[in-house]
Amino acid sequence: MADLAAVLSQADSNLNSSLDRLSDLVRIKSISTDPAFAAECRKAAQWLVDSLTELGFSASVRDTEGHPMVVAHHDGPDGAPHVLFYGHYDVQPVDPLELWTSDPFDPGIKELSPGRKVITGRGTSDDKGQLLTFVEACRAYKETQGDLPCRVTILFEGEEESGSKSLKPFLDANAEELKADLAMVCDTGMWNAETPSISVSLRGLTGEEITIKAASRDLHSGHYGGNAANPIHILSKILGDIHDENGWVTIPHFYDGVHETPDNIKSMWEGLGAPENFLSAVGLSVPSGESDRTILERAWARPTAEVNGITGGYSGEGFKTVIAAQASAKVSFRLVGDQDPHAVRSNFREFVKARIPADCSVDFEEHGTSGAIHLPFDSPALAKAVAVLEEEWGNPAAIIGMGGSIPIVGDFQSKLGMESLLVGFALEDDCIHSPNEKYDLRSFHMGIRSWVRIMDALAR
Amino acid sequence: MADLAAVLSQADSNLNSSLDRLSDLVRIKSISTDPAFAAECRKAAQWLVDSLTELGFSASVRDTEGHPMVVAHHDGPDGAPHVLFYGHYDVQPVDPLELWTSDPFDPGIKELSPGRKVITGRGTSDDKGQLLTFVEACRAYKETQGDLPCRVTILFEGEEESGSKSLKPFLDANAEELKADLAMVCDTGMWNAETPSISVSLRGLTGEEITIKAASRDLHSGHYGGNAANPIHILSKILGDIHDENGWVTIPHFYDGVHETPDNIKSMWEGLGAPENFLSAVGLSVPSGESDRTILERAWARPTAEVNGITGGYSGEGFKTVIAAQASAKVSFRLVGDQDPHAVRSNFREFVKARIPADCSVDFEEHGTSGAIHLPFDSPALAKAVAVLEEEWGNPAAIIGMGGSIPIVGDFQSKLGMESLLVGFALEDDCIHSPNEKYDLRSFHMGIRSWVRIMDALAR
Q: CA–CA distance from B301 to each of A211, A228, B403, B420 (Å)?
A: 32, 15, 8, 19
Task: Please indicate, yes or no, if residue B296 is contained in any of the structural domains.
Answer: no
Which residues does chain A have within 8 Å of residue B284's beta carbon, measured at their own beta carbons?
214-215, 228-229, 359-360
In a domain, B295, yes or no: no
pLDDT tier for residue B271 given thresholds of 50, 70 and 90 = confident
φ, ψ dihedrals at A241, nearest 5°: -85, -10
Question: Does B118 share its domain with B236?
Answer: no
Q: Which of residues 129-148 of A touch B (CB under 8 A)?
A: none
The span from the CA of B57 to the CA of B154, in Å, is 9
Q: At A365, is the secondary structure helix, strand, or coil? A: strand
Residues A395 and A430 in one domain: yes
Angle in degrees, CA B242, B360, A192, rounded to 5 = 140
Chain centroid to Cα B118, Å, comes to 20
The mean pLDDT of chain A is: 95
CB atoms within 10 A of CB B58: 12
The residue of chain B with its CA nearest to that of A205 is: B222
A66-70, A349-353, A409-413, B36-40, range with the lowest pLDDT:
A409-413
Q: Determine, for residues B318 and A367 on separate chains, whether the beta-carbon distance falls below 8 Å.
A: yes
Distance CA B224, CA A404 (A): 9
**Domain carrying residue A123:** 4-202+373-459
Backbone angles phi, psi at A355, to 5 degrees: -110, 15
Q: Spell out the alpha helix ranges (H) of A174-285.
A: 175-178, 221-224, 231-241, 263-272
> pLDDT tens digits for A6-55?
999 999 999 999 999 999 999 999 999 999 999 999 999 999 999 999 99
- Residue (of A307, A351, A298) closest to B239 by Cα position: A307
On the question of pLDDT at A275 being above 80, the answer is no
Contacts of B315 (CB under 8 A, 6+ apart): A309, A310, A311, A328, A330
Q: Whole-angstrom Cα distance, residue A435 to residue A72?
A: 32
A260-264, A346-350, B43-47: segment of lowest average pLDDT:
A260-264
CA distance B430 to B91: 14
Higher pLDDT, B318 or A342: A342
Verify that A170 and A213 share a domain, yes or no: no
* All residues at 6 or more sequence positions from B3 whose CB lies less than 8 Å from its CB, including other chains: B144, B145
Are B231 and B327 spatial neighbours (Cβ–Cβ below 8 Å)? yes
Average pLDDT over residues A212-237: 95
Q: In whole angstroms, what is the distance from residue A169 CA to residue A62 CA?
A: 13
Give yes or no: residues B251 and B366 share one domain: yes
**pLDDT, tens digit (0-9, with 9 covering 90-100), for B81-103:** 999 999 999 999 999 899 999 99
At residue B208, φ and ψ (nearest 5 deg) are -150, 140
Rg (CA), chain B: 23
CA dist B205 and B370 (Å) reads 5
- DSSP assignment of A442-460 equals HHHHHHHHHHHHHHHHHH-
Chain B contacts of A320, Cβ < 8 Å?
33, 92-93, 161, 308-309, 330, 433
Q: How much of chain A, in percent, has pLDDT values that exceed 90?
A: 86
| Reported confidence tier of residue B285, pLDDT bands at 50, 70, 90 | very high
How far is C-alpha A319 from the geometric centre of its chain's CA atoms? 38
Query: How many Å apart are CA A26 and CA A129, to the nearest integer?
Result: 8
| Listed residue (B71, B69, B43) closest to B57, CA to CA | B71
d(CA B457, CA B460): 5
Which whole-number Å values give the CA distances from B12 to B140, B146, B391, in the listed order?
Answer: 9, 17, 16
Residues B309 and B333 in one domain: yes
Which residues touch A62 (CB under 8 Å, ≥6 apart)? Answer: A68, A69, A70, A71, A170, A174
CB–CB of B26/B94 below 8 Å? no
Q: Examine the fold and report which residue of A370, A387, A403 is the final residue of a domain before the chain moves on.
A: A370
Residue A66 lies in a domain: yes
B191 assigned to some structural domain: yes
3-class SS at A267?
Answer: helix
Residues A238 and A324 in one domain: yes
- For residue A127, say if its preceding peptide bond is cis, omega within 30 degrees of 0: yes
Distance between CA B371 and CA B206 in Å, rounded? Answer: 8
Q: What residue type is A183 in one-letter code?
A: A
Q: Encode pLDDT of A103-143 as tens digits.
A: 999 999 999 999 999 999 999 999 999 999 999 999 999 99
Residue B436 DSSP one-character state: T
Contact at CB, A309 and B307, closer than 8 angstroms:
no
Looking at the domain assignment, is residue B266 inside a domain?
Answer: no
Nearest Cα residue in chain A from B244: A237
Whether B27 and B83 share a structural domain:
yes
For residue A387, give how far its alpha carbon lies from the nearest alpha carbon of chain B (Å): 26
Which residues, at least 6 apart from A204, have a Cβ–Cβ distance to it below 8 Å? Answer: A334, A335, A336, A339, A341, A370, A371, A372, A373, A405, A407, A410
- Is B340 in a helix, a strand, or coil? coil
Which residues from B are below 8 Å from A428, CB to CB? Answer: 223
Cis peptide before B127 (omega within 30 of 0): yes
Q: Average model confidence (pLDDT) for chain B? A: 95
In tens, the pLDDT along A365-413 reads: 999 888 999 888 788 999 999 999 999 999 999 989 989 878 789 899 9
What is the domain-level CATH number for residue B410? 3.40.630.10
Cα separation of the two ends of chain A: 8
For residues B15 and B19, give the distance between their C-alpha atoms in angstroms, rounded to a whole number: 6
CB B330 within 8 A of CB B207: yes
| Interface A-B: count of C-beta contacts within 8 A | 366
Residue A17 CB burial class (10 angstroms; 0-12, 13-18, ≥19):
exposed
Domain contains B291: no
Which residue in B33, B203, B221 is closest to A319 by CB distance? Answer: B33
H-only helix segments in A27-127: 38-54
CATH number at residue B335: 3.30.70.360
Sort out which chain A residues have CB atoms less than 8 A from B214's CB and list them: 283-284
Percent of chain A beyond pLDDT 70? 100
Look at B282 and A162 and tell me if their CB atoms are within 8 Å. no
Beta carbons of B83 and B151 less than 8 angstroms apart? yes
- Indicate whether B239 and B94 sit together in one domain: no
Please indicate, yes or no, if residue A288 is contained in any of the structural domains. Answer: no
Residue of B nearest to A290 (CA): B226
- The per-residue pLDDT for range A181-190, each reduced to its tens digit, is 999 999 999 9
Residues 417-446 of chain A whose Cβ lies under 8 A from any Cβ of chain B? 428, 431-436
**End position of a domain, from candidates B370, B390, B417:** B370
Q: Does B309 touch chain A (CB under 8 A)?
A: yes
Contacts of A115 (CB under 8 A, 6+ apart): none
Residue type, B294: T
Residue A409 sits at the chain B interface (C-beta within 8 Å): no
Q: What is the count of structural domains for chain B? A: 2
Quick one: B377 and B313 in the same domain? no
Number of neighbouring beta carbons within 10 Å of residue A301: 25
Does the residue A269 lie in any domain? no
- Asked whether the beta carbons of B337 and B372 are under 8 A apart, the reply is yes
Phi-psi region of A277 (alpha: psi -120 to 50; beta: other; left: phi over 0): left
Nearest-angstrom CA–CA distance, B312 and B307: 14
Per-residue confidence (pLDDT) for residue A278, from 0 to 100: 86
B268 Cβ under 8 Å from any chain A Cβ = no
Q: Does A104 touch chain B (CB under 8 A)?
A: no
Give yes or no: residues A101 and A162 share one domain: yes
- C-alpha triplet A30, A160, B225: angle, nearest 5°: 115
Task: Report pLDDT digits (tens) over A289-313.
Answer: 999 999 999 999 999 999 999 999 9
Burial code (b: 16+ CB inside 10 Å, e: under 16) for A271-296 equals eeeebeebbeebbbeebbbbeebbbb
User: What mean pLDDT do residues B271-290 have?
Assistant: 88
Calculate mean pLDDT across residues B351-366.
97
Domain-terminating residue out of A319, A335, A370: A370
Burial class of A390 by CB neighbour count within 10 A (0 to 12, 13 to 18, 19+):
middle
With a CB-CB cutoff of 8 Å, which residues 342-371 of chain B face chain A?
357-360, 367-368
Number of continuous H segments (helices) and E segments (strands) in chain B = 13, 18
Q: How far is CA A95 from the centre of its chain?
A: 18
Q: Give the pLDDT of residue B88.
A: 97
- What letter would DSSP give residue B37? G
The nearest alpha carbon in chain B to A240 belongs to: B237
As a whole number, mean pLDDT of residues B436-456 equals 98
Q: Quick count: other Cβ atoms within 10 Å of Cβ A423?
A: 27
| Residues B364 and B416 occupy one common structural domain | no
pLDDT of amino acid A407 = 77
What sign does the CA torsion over B270, B276, B279, B280 have?
Answer: positive
Name the strands in the sheet holding A204-213, side by side, starting at the edge strand that comes first in the sequence.
Answer: A361-370, A204-213, A326-335, A304-313, B304-313, B326-335, B204-213, B361-370
Q: B174: buried, middle or exposed (CB in 10 Å: 19+, 13-18, 0-12)?
A: middle
ipTM of the complex as predicted: 0.79
pLDDT value of position B277: 82
Whether the CB-CB separation of A392 and A446 falls below 8 Å is answered with yes
| Same domain, residue pair A344 and A383 | no
Interface contact flag, B233 A307, Cβ < 8 Å = yes
